[in-house]
Structures are given as C-alpha cells and as structure tokens.
Chain A
Amino acid sequence: MTQALVNGLTLGAVYALVALGYSMVYGILGMINFAHGEIYMLGAFHGILALAFAQHYLANFSPVVCLLGALVLAMLFCGGYGFTLERIAYRPLRHAPVLSPLISAIGMSFLLQNYVMVAQGSGIRGFPMEFGRRLTETRFSAFAGAEFSLLEVFILATSLLCMAGLHLYIYRSKMGKAMRATSQDRRMASLLGVDVDRVISATFIAGSALAAVAGVMVSMYVHAVKFNDGYIMGMKAFTAAVLGGIGNIPGAMLGGVLLGVVENIGIWFLGAGYKDAYSFIVLLLVLIVLPRGILGEQVSDKV
C-alpha cells in the first residue's frame, strides 16, 4: 500500500509535467492540444538517441553530464516540435469553426506517431541503462516497509524543479505576464500591445519542453519507449489536467499526483490488466461529478 503510494507519487509528478502543457495551451487558446502526448514520446526518443550517441562517442564523460545533456537536448528539440506544430497545424485555423483545429490536431498526432514509427521502427526502443544504473540501484527504505530508488527521488526532484521554474517564468518574467494577460482576454491583450502570436508560440515551447523532461524520465524509469506511448500518456495527463481544473497550473500538478496515486492503488487492488483504464474511469467520473476540477474557478462552457 505504501509502496503503491510511493510509486504513484513518482508517476504522478510526471503526469503533472505533461498535464501542465495541456493546461497552459487550454488556458490561452481554449483548445486541447491533442498532439501533446506525441511530443512527450518525441522527448523520450530524443533522450534515448542522445544517450546512444554519448555511449558511442563520449564514453569517458561522466554519466551525470551525459544525462543532463540528453535532457537539455530533448527539451530543445521538443520545444522546436511544439513551435512547429503550432505554426503548421493550429495557427492557420485559429479563426476556423471549432471542429477544424480538433481534427487538425488529431491528424498531427497520427502524423507524428507514424513519423517516429517509420523512422525508428515499430518495436520497443530500450533506454541505455548504464547511464541510470547508479540511480536505479541505490535504494532507500522508507516508512512502513516501502522502498524507493534514487531514480524516484531524482524524478520527483526534477519535476518539482521544473514546476518551480515554470511558476517563476509565469509569475516573474515579462513573457509570463503576457501569457497571463492573453489567457484572461486575448483580444484585450493584443490591443494593449501584447504580441499574441509570440505568446502562443512561447506557451507551446514551454509546454513541450516540460513534456520532453517527462519523456526522458519515464523512459529511464520503465527502461524503454515505443512509438505509440504518447497517446496513453496524453490521455492520462489530460485526465490529470481536468482533475485539477483545466487551465489552472497548480491544479495540473495536484491532479497529476492524485491520478498517479489513484492508479497505483487501483493496480494494487484490482491487478494490472486494466491499468490504463483507471484513468479513463477517473476522467469520466470527474467530468460528470466535478466538471470544474478540484481547483478550477470559472465554469467553462465546454463542460
């Protein structure tokens, strides 16, 4: 039971990172970025590819440096993918009827998923574990017989660090101020001199970079990644975002952690066969019982 809590907390922190991307985009554009899960998957692939490169060519660097380098590279490239995604698939449709950007987002999700499948194969791609061995092998025993590894601590710490960084970015930087203004009233913000296009691009880049961090860490935690991993992760992160109140950033964090814990307790009680179905059930219940989410303030007309 406590073990389930510990694992749930770790996974939940990762869900929260991906959920932040959904929440930020929803807050500003009022739409769900269906392809966000694929960005997470791309992040995992970039991390693994960078580490595979390091394994061959940078063998005498310390694993920690390689790992951090891979993390940064994945963030950079995923930021690029997020930016490109918005430019190609969403910007031309900003004034189109509601269904159009949704279909375009789903199309983009197929495109990215199959692009990785064609380029990298449809099999499982393993994480080069010599970079993470130290992290997985150091284990601590916690309260009540539960055990956790250094990797779990690393994932939790990195996630918290990213969330704190995002919080600072949104509440302290000029761009963050512009983001908040845009999410309140896009038209008014643009009248007051905020470059809305730039703000939207920045939102996509920031959200995608967070998803990349999540991707690298999860691929290290479960030792592998597959081209269609993004879609299940996207569903779960979306559930987390809705659970916490969509458009609300602390809510996304809370929702992610709650979902991770619920899922792991569900596995503990009911077995792993329906592991991925729990989040759908949670999503459905939340949307019916508490459509605003836990921390959501305003009633959205979408629900």
Chain B
Amino acid sequence: MSRRFFLTAAWLGALTWPVLGTAAALKLALVVSLIPAALGCWNALRRAAVVPCRGLWAALEAASGRIPPRFQIWGLAAFLCVAPLFLRHQTKYINLATDTLIMVLLALGLNIVLGMAGLFMLGYAAFYAIGAYAFAILSLKFQVPFWGGLVAGAAAAALVGFVVGLPSLRLRGDYLAIVTLGLGETIRYIIKNEEWLTGGTFGCPSRPVFISFGLEPYSRKIGSPRFFGWPAAVESIHYYFLALAMVALSVVAMQRLSNSRIGRAWVALREDETAAQAAGVPTVWAKLSAFTLSAVWAGMAGVLYAAKQKFLAPEIFDFNLSALVLSMVVLGGMGSIPGVVLGAVVLQMIPWFLRDFFPEFQNYRLLIYGGLMVLMMIWRPQGLWPNTRRKIELQEETDAVA
C-alpha cells in the first residue's frame, strides 16, 4: 500500500518536474507520499471520534426532527429576509449574497438539462450572456424597464436555447457536449465581434430602469429606486431581495416541474431514451423543452446580473463560467434541487471566505474544482445531497457491477 503510494509520488514528481519546477514537484511528491499516513490518521481519528460524533449527530437529528420541516423552511426564509437588513450598509456582504443567488439560479437552470433530462450541455454561459446582453441593449437603447427586460432577456435566451437544443434530437452523450460547447463559443464570438451591437471587447453598459411596485422609475433626478415604496438607499440590498425572490420562486417551480408530466418524461429520457420513446414519451418535445427552460433560467440570471452590475465585459461569459456552474451541479448532486443549491452556495462562498487567508485561491479555484469533479465521479457520483431516486439507481448500478 504505502509502497504503491511512494511509487506514485515519485512518478508524479518526475512527471510534473518540468512544468512545476524542482521545489514544487518535490512538494507534490511529498504530499502524495504522505496520503497513506494521512488516511491512517483520519481513520484513527474517525474511530476515536465515532462515538461522540454519532451522539452529537443523533441529538442534532432529534432536535431538527422535533421542528416540522415546514417551520424549517420558513425559518430559513425568515433568516434570509431579515439578516441582510442588519448588513444593509455592508455592501460587500450583500453583493456576495446576490452573486451567490445568481449562481444558484444558473445552477438550477443547468440542473434541468443535465440533472433531470440527462442531456449533457457545455457552454451554458452563453445563455447567461444572451440574457445579460439582451437586457443591457434594451435598457440602454430603448429604456425598457426592468420587468420588460426580464421577460425579453428570458425570451431571447429561450429562443437560442431552443435552437441549441435542435442538434440534441440527433446526438447523444459526448457529441452533444461538444456541439453545445461549440455553439456556446460561437455566441461568444458573435458578442466579441459585433461591436455595433454589443460593444465588442470594450464591454457594454446597462442602465436598469426600475418600475417597482411603487411605480417609481429610476432616474438621475429622483435618485435611488424604491422597493415596495420603501426608499432603498443601499441599492445592492434591492437586488438581493430581487434575487432572493427569484430563487425562491425557482425552487418552487423546479420542485413542481420535476414532479410534473414533463419532469417525469425527462427522467424517462435520462434513464433510457429508446425505452422512453417506446413507452410513448414524446422525446422530441421533452428534449426541446428541457433546453428551452434551462436557457430561460440562465437568461433570467443574466438579466439580474446585468441590472446589478451595470456593465458587461465579454470575458465574464467564457468557458470558465460554464465550468464553474457545471462543477456546482456535479458537486451538489445532479438532479437534486437542494443539492444544486448547496453546491452553488458552497463553491461560490468558499473562494470569498478564503481570500483573506489564502489570497491566491482565486487562481487555484478551477484547478481544485476540476480535481473535485474527478474525485466526485469516482467516490460519490450521486453528489453531496443526492436526489433520492438517483441515489437508489446508482447504488443498484454499482451493485450490479460488483
């Protein structure tokens, strides 16, 4: 066991030596050769801690079991609504929370096509970009108010999603992944090249005009917008609540979607396309609706982002963003709504909290997430918070192989 690890360490050290340089390659080799020792320590620790931990866990479970799930949800909602009010002037926390909520929206959208319908889509950032740019251009050139822009952004993304979904009628698996990646990249090239429309590499400003429920339009003269007639002096909190409301509505919508007729059609499609077709599932309709709906969510997230950020740089919508959203869905558990939310929150928050202690984490982020995706596929393919149905399936499959 340890001999094998030692050989692996020596091999990896030698392999990475030209790229990493001597010191870092030696460090890597050292870390790898220490894995067995670390595993041993971890197991010993677990064995020592198993009794108290289990007691603690059981106590926690009993405590949470005493509170009905409905109260737990309302409690969480109340916390998410009230806590930011105390942080109103701490814009950076509010912005972090808003960004996280936008990523949650994106992850939920990707989850429709990847988790529920089992269709592989890369290049998801393109739909986000379309929503954002549609909103920015409409608000800048036609002074379209936010709610109109939201509808238009979602509609534009849906249209493109439908078109991108068309190849899925003939392609499966890896091919679909590459084609959607290519289409996403093409959209990015269009954004970069068509300067008359999108500002090209210079970026594109957006001017959100809000018509909130107090019908108070945003303008230089009147100043900050009002939310329910309440003057939102700190603008960022305004966007936070908007994002929170959208996430809450989306979670409810997703839950209902996954139990609806079309949701079940998606599951059937994911499990076995041929069998689904034979059983009378309209696969064409199911595939196209998965792509379209998924794009709608990305478009809405993009509109929110454009309104909040007020400036769009084309570099934001590159492959790294698609990769990030993909790793959120994979980490949380494909097809599981709470899992996807958890994955998005964890992966969005970690770099932010680590940046004081470990300022270079931003650079290492995708390196670590990539490794995490590989490890998750090997050890926990169902994700951190798996979908019940999927968990059972994966267990059965591993049993069948073993």
Segment 80-138 of A: residues with Cβ below 8 Å from B:
80-81, 84, 88-89, 92-93, 95-104, 106-120
At the interface, yes or no: A283 with Cβ under 8 Å from chain B?
yes
**Nearest A residue to B189 by beta-carbon distance?**
A277
Report which of B19, B181, B401 forms a contact with A116, defined as CB distance below 8 A: B19
Q: Which residues of A contact B374 (CB under 8 A)?
A: 88-89, 104, 107-108, 111
Instruction: Give the interface of B toward A (CB within 8 A).
Output: 11-12, 14-16, 18-21, 24, 118, 120, 122, 167, 170-175, 177-179, 181-183, 185-186, 189, 192-193, 319, 323, 326-327, 330, 334, 363-367, 369-374, 377-378, 381, 394, 397, 401
At the interface, yes or no: A287 with Cβ under 8 Å from chain B?
yes
Give the distance to chain A from B183, nearest Cβ to Cβ, in Å. 7
- Contact call B183/A102, Cβ cutoff below 8 A: no
**Nearest A residue to B18 by beta-carbon distance?**
A49
- Contact call B377/A110, Cβ cutoff below 8 A: no
CA of A117 to CA of B174, assembled, Å = 26
- Contact call B369/A77, Cβ cutoff below 8 A: no
- Contact call B185/A276, Cβ cutoff below 8 A: yes
Report which of B14, B19, B181 forms a contact with A49, defined as CB distance below 8 A: B19
- Contact call B366/A110, Cβ cutoff below 8 A: yes
Known: A107-B370, A274-B193, A276-B189. A118 touches B363 (CB 8 A): yes
At the interface, yes or no: A235 with Cβ under 8 Å from chain B?
yes
At the interface, yes or no: A31 with Cβ under 8 Å from chain B?
yes
**Nearest A residue to B360 by beta-carbon distance?**
A118
Q: Which residues of A contact B189 (CB under 8 A)?
A: 273-274, 276-277
- Contact call B363/A302, Cβ cutoff below 8 A: no
- Contact call A277/B186, Cβ cutoff below 8 A: yes
Q: Which residues of A contact B175 (CB under 8 A)?
A: 32, 242, 287, 302-303
Known: A88-B374, A117-B363, A274-B189. A238 touches B178 (CB 8 A): yes
Report which of A73, A114, A284, A301 forms a contact with B367, defined as CB distance below 8 A: A114
- Contact call A283/B178, Cβ cutoff below 8 A: yes
At the interface, yes or no: A42 with Cβ under 8 Å from chain B?
yes
- Known contacts A103-B377, A119-B24, A280-B182; 19 additional CB pairs below 8 A are A32-B174, A45-B18, A46-B19, A77-B15, A81-B15, A84-B15, A100-B377, A106-B326, A115-B367, A119-B20, A231-B319, A235-B181, A277-B185, A284-B167, A287-B171, A288-B167, A291-B170, A303-B170, A303-B175
Q: Which residues of B contact A34 (CB under 8 A)?
A: 174, 177
CA of A242 to CA of B367, assembled, Å = 29
Known: A110-B369, A288-B167. A283 touches B179 (CB 8 A): yes
At the interface, yes or no: A194 with Cβ under 8 Å from chain B?
no
Segment 253-294 of A: residues with Cβ below 8 Å from B:
273-274, 276-277, 279-281, 283-284, 287-288, 291
Q: Which residues of A contact B182 (CB under 8 A)?
A: 235, 279-280, 283-284
- Contact call A280/B183, Cβ cutoff below 8 A: yes
CA of A116 to CA of B394, assembled, Å = 34
Q: Which residues of B contact A110 (CB under 8 A)?
A: 323, 327, 366-367, 369-370, 373
At the interface, yes or no: A156 with Cβ under 8 Å from chain B?
no
Q: Which residues of B contact A279 (CB under 8 A)?
A: 182
Q: Which residues of A contact B174 (CB under 8 A)?
A: 31-32, 34, 102, 302
